[in-house]
Amino acid sequence: MSKTTRLLTMSFVVLLSLLSFSARAEYQPWSPKVFAHINHKYGADAEQRMRKLQRFIAINYDKPIQEKLSNTNSMLNHLPWITDQAKYQQNDYWATPLETIATFGGDCEDIAISKFVVLRNMGVPTEHLTLAYVKIKRTGESHMVLLYIIDPQAPTSQQSSLVLDNYDKQIKTGEERQDIIAIYSVSANNDIVLISDDGRGNRTILKEIEDVKFAKLDKIRAQILSNQTFYQNLNDGIPLF
């Protein structure tokens, strides 16, 4: 991997390892203090977006998995795609999922991570959800998608997946997505799978790296934990994401 790719991988590992605690045993509504803070920080429109998100989670919580995936993919694909430079005047800004939705927009990484968090809040187990770094074959553009692993207990090379994407908005299997070149995937357990993809339908596992840790990302980890703790305190001690 290039230096840029390694840094991207490390950042996602840290973020997912922290977000892995966002599952809910049962649906729990957010405290009014959460919405009051969002209104104060981001404005009334942002508060209404988050209230809509909470209603969405409540309505879909007990639905079959296929409906959860389809509805979540569709809803979050309505977020405008905005580069970090255009939105935050930074080349590489790591927005929290709440910030992405409240401020209505983000890049492909922000949108994929937001889908991850919403599905976790609906009770979808961590082992079914993985982020994948790919390239769009037609343009060569780097891109991030969310994978739903259908059979996580199977060996990695035999697993089947569904792709939740804001580029091709229809959920398809990984095998059907021959318009993208797979580079690697990273799970909430800090496991990275490096993939060889010749762009002609031949994909093989190059290497699996378990429980990756990077000391250099302590600052990012501290920022994410601080943000989580802040919203947990607002939400009467219940983790928000």
Q: Tokens in use for 130?
A: 């993985």
Q: CA torsion sign, 20 to 124 to 80 to 132?
A: positive
Detail the DSSP E strand segments found in the chain: 129-136, 142-149, 161-164, 172-173, 180-187, 192-197, 203-209
Q: Is residue 225 one of the residues assigned to a domain? A: yes
| pLDDT for the residue numbered 4 | 42
Alpha carbon distance 199, 115 (integer Å): 26
Q: Give the pair of three-digit tokens for residue 18.
A: 């922290």
128 within a domain of the structure (yes/no): yes
CATH number at residue 48: 3.10.620.30
Question: Residue 223 is part of which domain span?
Answer: 3-234
User: Residue for token digits 């995937």?
Assistant: 185
Long-range contacts, 228-233 (Cβ 8 Å, 24+): 228/18, 231/34, 231/98
Amino acid code (one letter) for 217 = L
CB pairs under 8 A, 24+ apart, for 188-193?
188/16, 188/17, 188/19, 188/20, 188/126, 188/129, 189/17, 189/20, 189/126, 189/127, 190/13, 190/16, 190/17, 192/9, 192/13, 193/156
Count how many domains the chain has: 1
Output the pLDDT for position 6. Answer: 45
With beta carbons less than 8 A apart as the criterion, state whether 113 and 224 touch: no
Q: What is the 3-state secondary structure (H, E, C) of 167-227?
A: CCCCCEECCCCCCEEEEEEEECCCCEEEEEECCCCCEEEEEEECCCCCHHHHHHHHHHHHH
pLDDT of residue 3: 40
List, for the chain, all residue ranges whose pLDDT scores fall below the cut of 50.
Answer: 1-7, 10, 21-22
Q: Which of 118, 121, 128 is nearest to 27 (CA)?
A: 121
Q: Is residue 38 part of a domain?
A: yes
Domain-embedded: residue 70: yes
Predicted local distance difference test score (pLDDT) of residue 7: 46
Cβ contact 179:169 at 8 Å: no
Measure CA of the first residue to CA of the last residue in the chain; give whole Å: 30
- pLDDT score for 215: 54
CA 83 to CA 101: how far, in whole Å?
A: 14
d(CA 94, CA 240) in angstroms, rounded, equals: 18
For residue 32, being part of any structural domain is answered with yes
Asked if the structure places residue 240 within a domain, the reply is: no
Answer whether residue 26 is part of any domain: yes
User: Residue 239 domain-assigned?
Assistant: no
What pLDDT score was predicted for residue 2? 41
Q: What is the rounded CA–CA span in Å between residue 195 and residue 204?
A: 6
Give this prediction's pTM. 0.86
Instruction: Please give the pLDDT value at position 219.
Output: 64
